[in-house]
Amino acid sequence: MAYIWAKSMVNLRLLFVFFLFLLCLPTGGGQKKKENLLSEKVDQMMEWSSRRSVIRMNGDKFRRYVKAPPRNYSVIVMFTALQPQRQCSVCRQANEEYQVLANSWRYSSAFSNKLFFTVVDYDEGADVFQQLNMNSAPTFMHFPAKGKPKRADTFDLQRIGFASEQLAKWIADRTDVQIRVFRPPNYSGTIALALLVSLVGGLLYLRRNNLEFIYNKTGWAMAALCVVFAMTSGQMWNHIRGPPYAHKNPQNGQVSYIHGSSQAQFVAESHIILLLNAAITMGMVLLNEAATSKGDVGKRRIICLVGLGLVVFFFSFLLSIFRSKYHGYPYSFLIK
């Protein structure tokens, strides 16, 4: 009896070991298969990245290399619409900045297989746009190595703009990867400055016997006003942030020239503000001319009315734009 019991225990132990072996065998094989798949995906992404800094993707590639696990690398995706029939000028401008950033990463000494730059064009991956419920372009998203994208993984294009430097800061915040932006040399500013200096120098040489125009107060006042108008309209902000010229709603095609937030602006908006400030200034100049000149009274009265009309109307317009951007501002004048 004891012999039979001992033999049964031995058989049970052998059976238990066999079942453990069966449980471990698929797990080990699955892990190996997962590692091989990950290695294959990384190698493929590195090969594509060696050909071009920004990898173009359609729906199948996006789902396989960006969405589907396993993945130990982060992916920055620009969703855009670059085809001419889409008439997305903002997409082309954002794409240029995106290319600069991707090239800066690709040719830097810190380049690794932990971060890749990709692009999905609407005409090549409309199913991806539908899958993500995306109805506007361009849009930048970060897909982390682990987990799903969070709200902060979508770049706030409307508030920050799409300059390469701003994108690099956002990527550093989301991935801890520091990218130093290297822009290709642009000599247009140097050439323009050289032409301007040459023009001024030539003008001074031709007028060397009569330089009284240098002391013209009106000329210097006009030049000073041009600088003031450019600075107060936000031209420097545009240069730093690189905002789009305007925004076209993809749903109804309506073009917005005034940004709805007080934290951002369009290039067209700064041009509008410049013209409004110039018109108000012209009105103030006319009012001053009407008050200080000694000409015909009727003519001075007309100049006064025209100047007053310019100041009142364009200041009302300027105030209405201010109200539309700073929501809750209680005051208005003529135009709401």
Report pLDDT digits (tens) over 25-38: 444 556 778 888 88
Do 61 and 150 lie in one domain? The reply is: yes
User: Considering the chain, what is the average pLDDT of its residues?
Assistant: 83
Q: Are strands 74-80 and 115-121 parallel, antiparallel or unpaired?
A: parallel
**Do residues 140 and 77 make contact, with C-beta atoms less than 8 angstroms apart?**
yes
Strand partners, 255: 248
**Same-domain status, 158 and 40:** yes
In a domain, 180, yes or no: no
171 plus 221 within the same structural domain: no
- DSSP element (H, E) containing 317: helix 297-325
Q: Is residue 198 a part of any domain in this protein?
A: no
316: helix, coil or strand? helix
d(CA 180, CA 39): 28
> Do residues 169 and 277 both lie within one domain?
no
Q: Of residues 11 and 215, which shows the higher confidence score?
A: 215
Q: What is the CA radius of gyration of the chain?
A: 32
CATH value at residue 161: 3.40.30.10
Identity of residue 288: N
- Regarding whether 161 and 60 lie in a shared domain, the answer is yes
Domain membership of residue 245 as a residue range: 216-325
Q: What percent of the chain has pLDDT over 70?
A: 89
Indicate whether 19 pLDDT > 70. Answer: no
Is 147 inside a domain boundary? yes
Judgement on whether residues 63 and 160 belong to the same structural domain of the protein: yes
pLDDT at 158 exceeding the cut of 90 = no
Contacts for 41 with CB less than 8 Å, ≥ 6 apart: 64, 65, 70, 71
Q: Which two tokens stand for residue 141?
A: 């998203």
Average pLDDT estimate for 131-141: 88
Residues 325-334 as b/e (b if ≥16 CB within 10 A, e otherwise) read beeeeeeeee
Any domain includes 192? no
- The amino acid occupying position 2 is A
The residue among 175, 204, 229 that closes a domain is 175
pTM higher than 0.85, yes or no?
no
pLDDT one-digit tens code per residue, 277-323: 999 999 998 888 888 888 788 888 888 999 999 999 999 988 888 88
Reported confidence tier of residue 18, pLDDT bands at 50, 70, 90: low
163 shares a domain with 56: yes
The reply to whether 148 falls in a domain is: yes
pLDDT in tens, 242-271: 677 887 776 677 788 888 777 778 888 888
Residue 18 maps to a domain: no
How many domains does one find in the chain? 2
Angstrom distance (rounded) from CA 243 to CA 161: 5
Residue 20 belongs to a domain: no
The per-residue pLDDT for range 175-220, each reduced to its tens digit, is: 989 999 888 776 777 888 899 899 888 877 877 777 777 777 888 8
